[in-house]
Amino acid sequence: MNLLSIGMVAGLAATLGVAAMKQPPAASDGAPAKMAEASAVRNPDTVFRLETPGGRASCIVRKGRTLSDGRSVLLPGPRCAEIFAPLGQATVWRTGDDATVDFVGKGGQTLVRFALADGAGYESVRPRSRIFSLTAE
């Protein structure tokens, strides 16, 4: 076999292996599918990681149940306030028409604003004195 063939076989094997790991084991009565659906209903939170530049500090942020159009409950993890104190007061995840995401505090003020980044996440644009990245887990 030449190197190209070996590379193609290895890539295919890796892809199939990852796909196989993501599939729940099938049962004749469909129980795993039902359990997965029930789990999604009970736990609607979407999990994100907020990080400082270089990943030196990070915390988990959960976007919870929908409150109204473009607004959801925001549940910052306990380490978030250690990274940036106002994050401990954030209660609402607000998605703007321009695809920005605001973390809103109890008084209604925007504590942090994120814009879509080049990659698969967001970068903070406000406050300008702090830089954070936000990526889905």
Q: What does the domain layout of the chain look like in residue ranges?
A: 3-42, 46-136
pLDDT tens-place string over residues 112-131:
999 999 877 999 999 999 99
The architecture (CATH level 2) of 46-136 comes to Beta Barrel (2.40)
Q: What is the pLDDT of residue 20?
A: 39
CA atoms within 13 A on the CB side of 133: 16
Q: Is the pLDDT of residue 100 over 70?
A: yes
pLDDT tens-place string over residues 37-89:
333 344 457 999 999 999 999 999 999 999 999 999 999 999 999 999 999 99
Contact 88, 80 (CB under 8 A): yes
Q: What is the pLDDT of residue 29?
A: 46
Quick one: tokens of 4? 């190209």
